[in-house]
Every structure is written in structure tokens, then in C-alpha cells.
Amino acid sequence: VILLVLLYLFAFCAKAKADGFSEAFATVQVLSADCASMGNACVSAREFSSDLNPALVAITTDKNFKWGISPAYASVNFKNGPDIQGDSMSFTTALPKGVLQLSYTGAGSNRHADFAETDGILISSSLDFDSIQDFGIQYGIDIAKDLIKKGDKLYIGAGYTYSKSKILSDLAVTIPMEEGDPIATEFYLNSKSRSRAYTAGVVYVPIEKLSLGIAYSYTRTKTNNKTDIPAEIESISGEEKIRMNDLRVGASWKITDKLMLAGDYRHAKVNGNNFDQYYAGAEYCFHEAFCVYGGIPNSGWSSGAGLYLKNGGINVAYQYDPFREVRDDLGKAKVVALTGYLSF
């Protein structure tokens, strides 16, 4: 009986840890390379990707823009967790009024395993992001000019993202016995999630060199967890719901024709738990066609570069330790991102 209780506690703790990890992981954002290189400080940055603010969809194009595509790739390598790779494709088109963007992202990971031994008890665990898929739509429009003062501009936007994911994890326990062979058992946790995110954003440009941005998103996530444990104990099944309110405000300032600074503040509330994050970044352009970037993405640092041509361009970015909230579970992360675009 004592052994069965011990095994049940292992399974219960494994599920509880997964629930807490889900809330922290909900705040993790992997952005396009231009935003990533700026330390994720791009809720107000004009001519940057609209990952954080759908109002930017209407600003990243000139008056002659008709349509464009943007492929992207990102790799996230956790020191004590799986290596996640993903790619995405977005299609943007100008409408009679405003700009519409459609996007798709697919990602997955390898299986990462950890081993530990305590008082002769051997514990091994593994984690695998089996599949992650996002389907998104954004719309932005230049809604007003000369709103408060002559020359100012106001952009607004809205977006919707549907996501689904599957995470597999297991915990194996080997308990030595004074007599006979050791007892070995294994627990499996299969988590399937579906989420819907609704986003609204505003960018206000009071003067040509200054932009102010604000974006709010509400995400509902429903996760079905199934924990398979030894036959002597009934399996644990349950449903987990995550509600996240995510508010982000920021400003970007073009100090000179070559140098721009940007900063964001983010407040995320996940099932009653608050997460406050700060981001800062800088852009320096040696020429209109070539710029370098650096930043602080909440924790750690980031860097990158961008090459811009008349009808296309490419950005590369590197981030080190940007995900403080999941560092204790997965260790420090390294992020590499690559984004290209073509416009017509």
C-alpha cells in the first residue's frame, strides 16, 4: 500500500508541475527576426513585423503596395529542455481600405530527457512538443490624420489566432528493494490544447520621429490532460483552462536618421498569476539597405541584422536567455530567427 501511495504521489506531482509550467509557458513569445533582434521591443516600431500589434500591418507597406509574402524560421534550444523548430508563412494584401494579413505557423521538437538519483531512487523524465500550429488573421488601417495636431497619424488593428498543440511527457521511477529486483514504473502525460486569441492594437504617431503603441490580447486555452500510471492505480484525466489577459505598451524614437531606440512594458495575467516584463532595443542603420540591432528581451540579450532592398529583404536574429519565466524548468534558451519578405 505504501508503495502504491508513493507511485500515486509521483504521478500527481508530475501533473501539478505540468499545470504550473503551462501557465508560465503561456507567456513565451517567439517573434519574427526583426522584432527578436530588437529585444522584442516592437509594439510601436513602424516598419517592423506586426507580431505584437495588428495596427502595424497598415504601416509596414507604402502607398504603392499591392501584396507580399513573408517566410520565416525560428529555432529555440533550451539547455534543459527540448529543441523546438518552427517555420511560418504570411500573406499580406492591400484592400480598398486597410491591409489584411493571413499567416500559418507550424512547429515541433525533439524529445529531451533528464536523469536524477535520490537515495537510490532513479528518476528520469522527458518532454516533447509533438506539434504546435497557429492560424492567424490580422487587419490594420490608417484611420485618421491631423487628429490632435497637424501631421499626426493614428493606426488601429485587430487580429485573431487559433492554435493547437500536443505535448508529450513521461516520468520513469526505479525503486530499489532490499530483497529481489527493483520496482520500475513509468507515468505518461499527454496534453492536447486548443486556444483562441483576440488582439486589438493602436499606434499613434504624434511627430514623424516618435511612435506610441498599445496592444491588448485575450487568450482562452483549453487543455485535455491524460496521465497514464501503473495499472494498480486508476489513470488521471482532467481538463485545464487557461485565461490570459496580455497588455503591452511601448514607444519608439528615431533619434537621428540612423539611430532608433524602443522600449516596451508587458503585463500578462494568467489564471490570476501576474507576469511583468520589460523590453528594450536599438536599431542603427549604416545605410538605408543595411541595419544592425541589439536589445534586452525581458532577460538576457539579443542581436541581429537586416538587409533591405526595393522589393524584399531579410533579417537574422539571435537571443540568449529571453524566457525568464520557464528558466527553472527548461534552463536558459538560445533563439535563432530568420525572416524574409517580398513585396509587389
DSSP secondary structure string for all residues of 104-118:
EEEEEE--EEEEEEE
Where does the chain have alpha helices with state H? 2-25, 33-37, 327-330
Predicted confidence at residue 184, as pLDDT, reads: 67
Predicted confidence at residue 215, as pLDDT, reads: 98
Predicted confidence at residue 304, as pLDDT, reads: 97
Tens digits of per-residue pLDDT, 131-188?
A: 788 999 999 999 999 999 999 999 999 999 999 988 777 767 777 766 667 666 667 7
pTM: 0.85
Grid coordinates representing 289 are: 539597405
Residue 129: closest CA among 91, 83, 196: 83
Residues 6+ away with beta carbon under 8 Å from 298: 40, 266, 277, 278, 279, 322, 323, 324
Tens digits of per-residue pLDDT, 260-315?
A: 999 999 999 999 889 999 999 999 999 888 999 999 999 999 999 999 988 899 99
For residue 7, pLDDT over 50 is answered with no
Higher pLDDT, 269 or 116: 269
Q: Residues 96-100: what's their mean pLDDT? A: 94
Half-sphere exposure of 300 (CA within 13 A, CB side): 22
d(CA 156, CA 164): 27
What confidence tier does 63 reach under pLDDT thresholds 50, 70, 90?
A: confident
For residue 5, pLDDT over 50 is answered with no
Phi then psi for 21, rounded to 5 degrees? Answer: -65, -35
Which position has the grid cell 495499472?
231
Q: Residues 320-335: what's their mean pLDDT? A: 91
Burial class (CB in 10 A: 0-12, 13-18, 19+), 208: exposed
Q: Look at the chain and count its residues.
A: 344
Where does 165-266 have alpha helices with state H? none
